[in-house]
């Protein structure tokens, strides 16, 4: 992969509209809220949730375990979503490094 291809792909990545991160955060928030709600209703044994589990052949004790597992996984995923911000900063660092290499190559010409 040559430097021009790298520069072009990094430029394309950096031209993401400013709405996209907000849209991603909003959708992620909705999914996290839904999963947290679903987990809590299973843990506190809300009647409609227990009836739905009974229809699927899942006992109440197993439903509580599923709810706890769902809450644990949701908490883990929600807490690691900050890693996306690190990726963005590493992309800008990579872009600066490629620009330095390119300017160095121009000096050699």
For the segment 37-70, what is each residue's pLDDT rounded down to a tens digit? 999 999 999 999 999 999 999 999 999 999 999 9
> Which one, of 102, 104, 106, lies nearest residue 4 by Cα?
102
Q: What is the pLDDT of residue 97?
A: 61
Indicate the average pLDDT of the chain.
Answer: 77
- Domain ranges in the chain? 18-108
Is the pTM here over 0.75, yes or no?
no
Least confident of 21-25, 36-40, 57-61, 97-101: 97-101
> Can you give the C-alpha Rg of the chain in angstroms?
23
Backbone torsions φ then ψ of 25, nearest 5 degrees: -65, -40
Residue carrying structure tokens 């996290």: 32
């Amino acid at each position: 992969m040559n430097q021009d291809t790298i520069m072009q792909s990094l430029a394309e990545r950096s031209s993401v509209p400013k709405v996209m991160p907000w849209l991603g955060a909003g959708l992620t928030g909705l999914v996290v809220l839904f999963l947290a709600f679903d987990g809590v209703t299973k843990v506190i044994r809300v009647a409609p949730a227990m009836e739905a589990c009974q229809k699927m052949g899942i006992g109440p004790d197993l439903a509580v375990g599923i709810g706890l597992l769902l809450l644990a996984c949701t908490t883990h995923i929600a807490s690691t979503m900050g890693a996306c911000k690190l990726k963005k900063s590493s992309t800008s660092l990579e872009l600066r490094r490629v620009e330095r290499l390119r300017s160095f190559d121009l000096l050699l010409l």
